[in-house]
Amino acid sequence: MATRLRKRGRVTDGRPLPDEAYIEPHVSYARRLAWNIGDLFTRGTAAGIAAGFVFLLANMAYATNQGKPSLAPFMDISTIFHGTDKPASMTPTLDMLATGAIVHISLSIAFGIVFALLVGALAPLLRNWLVLGGAGVLYGLALYVVNFQIFGNTLFQWFTNPKGPDQGFEVFIHAAFGLMLVPFFLGLAHRLRASDARTD
C-alpha cells in the first residue's frame, strides 16, 4: 500500500489514507546505532589493542621494579588459559609467554569492543570529553572489580594471591586502561549525538 507524504515524510492530512498504512519517517536511535556497528567494532578493536599494549608494558615495568621477572604479567595471565591457581613454574617459559600474550590480546580486544558498544548505547549522555573520560575510568575500575575481586576470588585465585599481582597497582592500571580507550571514541560519540539531534 502506498502512502502520500509531504517533503518531511508526513501524510498530507496527518493521518493514513483509507486502507493505507502510515509510514513513520523517524529512525530510532537503536537503528542508527546499528548502522554504526562496524565502526564501533573497529574502534573497539583498535582501542583495546592500543590500551592493552600500554597496560602490559606498564605491568612489565612494575614487575621489574618489584624484583620480579619482566615476564611476570604473562605468567599471571597464563593461569587463565590453564585454569590453575598459580603459574606452572615461577620461572617464565615459552608456554607462559605464548598463552599469556594470546589471552591478554584477546581480552583487551573484547574489553575494547564492549566499551565501544557502551559508548554507542550511551552517546546521548556523553556530552563532552570530560564525561567520556570519566566513563572510561569507571569502566576500567569495573573491569578490575570483575576480573580481580569476582573472578579472582572464585575462578582464578592467583590474581588475589599475595604472591600474585599487586592489587593497588592493578586498580590504578585498570583505571588507566579505561582512560586510554577514550581517545578512540571522541569523534564517534559526537557524531552519534549530532545524528540524534538532527532526527529529533
Ordered per-residue pLDDT tens for the chain, 200 residues: 444 444 444 444 455 445 554 444 444 556 666 667 888 999 999 999 999 999 999 999 999 998 888 899 999 898 888 877 778 677 778 888 999 999 999 999 999 999 999 998 887 777 788 889 999 999 999 999 999 999 988 888 888 888 888 999 999 999 999 999 999 988 776 666 555 545 54
The residue extents of the domains of the chain are 1-28, 36-199
Element (H, E) at 141: helix 129-144
Helix axes 94-122, 129-144, angle to 10 degrees: 140
User: How many beta carbons lie within 10 A of that of residue 71, not counting itself?
Assistant: 19
pLDDT at 64: 93
Place of cell 552517546: 123
- Give the pLDDT confidence score for residue 190 in this predicted structure: 65
> Do 31 and 16 form a contact (C-beta atoms < 8 A)?
no
Amino acid in position 123: A
Residue-level pLDDT at 2: 47
Strand partners, 11: 5
31 φ, ψ (degrees, to nearest 5): -65, -45
C-alpha cell at 67: 624484583
Contact criterion met (CB below 8 Å) for 26 and 46: no
How far is Cα of residue 7 from the mean position of the Cα atoms in its chain? Answer: 40
Instruction: State residue 125's pLDDT score.
Output: 77
The per-residue pLDDT for 39 is 86
Calpha distance 115→58 (Å, rounded): 21
Quick one: pLDDT at residue 29?
Answer: 54
3-state SS, residue 120 = helix
Global pTM?
0.77
